[in-house]
Chain A
């Protein structure tokens, strides 16, 4: 386990109409074992930031530290879960989970043990031999989480992992993720545009503003853990949601006014 930090990350994409600045000196620090959520309107660069943290995109400037050491490029220390279903369709559930350990030279019986315990934990034991196409969306994302955890990564990076799920499946997945996190206490950076989701899951919510993407405010979530879905109805929750919404819509309104 480790902390992860993005320091003064700037990202500029060259486009036909000139350079597009997606991120402007964004700094995000997440302590060891903390659950951080990043929210913002679409186009605020939150997914780009996460991909930079994963090492999949090289930033124009700025650095990424994991446990205080600078990292370049992707690595098994940072597991990733995407919104789209990224299970390898030609591999069964068990093989998907064992994919990371098999790349990193873990012996077969040890891989088996890792996969067995994750399958058990994810409630997927009876689907070990199923192919991804035979699974529901919620199950696919559980396998994707198990696959990322199988490498025993320092940090888990999640890019709207429940964005494609229906509302009830999504609530189930959120509850499930808090349970997993409470067990593993992994450092998590979770990108979402769902404010309820961010408050329910996170210790901290980073609110980003768009064009160029910046961290506008860091909102600590001091709702006691373990949390339940019922906490979403509490006055404290409503107050946090009101605050984050007003931060986001202040930008939207300002942009609309500027356009007029």
Chain B
């Protein structure tokens, strides 16, 4: 059949609806189509817009005099407070104190939780031994253990790290266990038919198949670590972001409280971004990055 036959077989160009083309994608139509991709620039713009809306409402409420500064200070005052805290009050030292507690508590939780979780997910006997007790402790809130931790460790660094460890270790272990338990059985079976020993299966299939999920759960676990850190610092501490927030509350320095909270938010956002980057660099083969 020649090209000419194909052309004549097609509907005439005068047809009411253009053949083979969907309705013209206007911007409004794109935005209202479920799951439709939007331009990258628009996506970034909307993200910034979300912040702008919050800032705008905040500004209207405060600069418009609708709320007492004691309850909600103006954005400018908070920005000034944040600047003063870093420049004059050595707030960086408090941020570092908090950061240091997180890193140690979190690392210890991960260092034990990852191998234990993988073992629970891989070996039924380990699962039978550890899973019930970990699952039980997981539902005991870490914050409820703070008084106990203070009796055991005092109110120094160790107590904060212990609270973070306690809050992160149990759920992280179970989530890692879930990751390794969900490695498809087919991958294990195919390795056996390729001549793998049990050790090979563990070392060369279960472990590499688990890493992306483990790193993703570490990112989520770091979020919990921040929560427990601040709780621990609010209860008893002489340094740290939580301590600064509590002190500011005592002196009714609302702007410093908000400045402290914003600092935590920014740090959380930065660590999240770092983990995402880490994930993409380590696992270029992974299909997706979870939220």
Contacts and interface: CB of A to CB of B under 8 A. Distances in A.
Interface of A: 51, 54-56, 73-76, 78-80, 82, 84, 86, 88-91, 99-100, 103-104, 131-133, 147-148, 151, 157
Nearest to A51: B189
B195 A151 contact: yes
Given A88-B205, A90-B283, A132-B285, A75 B195 contact: yes
B56 interface: no
Given A82-B186, A84-B186, A103-B200, A90 B285 contact: yes
A75 B88 CA distance: 70
A133 B194 contact: no
B12 interface: no
Q: In this complex, which of A54, A80, A90, A104 has the most chain B Cβ atoms within 10 angstroms of its Cβ?
A: A90
Interface string B101-135: 00000000000000000000000000000000000
B100 interface: no
Contacts of B197: 103
Contacts of B285: 89-91, 131-133
A88 B187 CA distance: 7
23 contacts: A54-B193, A55-B192, A56-B193, A74-B189, A79-B194, A82-B190, A86-B186, A86-B187, A86-B190, A88-B187, A88-B205, A89-B286, A89-B287, A90-B209, A90-B283, A103-B195, A104-B195, A132-B285, A133-B287, A147-B194, A148-B193, A151-B194, A157-B193
Contacts of A51: 189
Interface in B239-288: 283-287
Query: Chain B contact residues (Cβ within 8 angstroms of A): what range?
Result: 20 to 34
Contacts of B191: 99, 103
B155 interface: no
Interface of B: 184, 186-187, 189-197, 200, 204-205, 208-209, 211, 283-287
A151 B189 CA distance: 16
A148 B187 CA distance: 13
B181 to A, nearest CB: 17
Nearest to A130: B285
A147 B189 CA distance: 14
A66 to B, nearest CB: 13
Nearest to B193: A80
Contacts of B187: 86, 88
Among all A-B residue pairs, the 7 with the closest Cβ atoms? A76-B195, A100-B194, A80-B193, A74-B192, A131-B285, A86-B190, A86-B186
Contacts of B190: 80, 82, 86
Nearest to A153: B193
Nearest to B190: A86
A100 B286 CA distance: 22
Contacts of A84: 184, 186
Contacts of B286: 89
Contacts of A147: 194
B196 A103 contact: yes
B196 A80 contact: no
Contacts of A86: 184, 186-187, 189-190
A39 B196 CA distance: 29
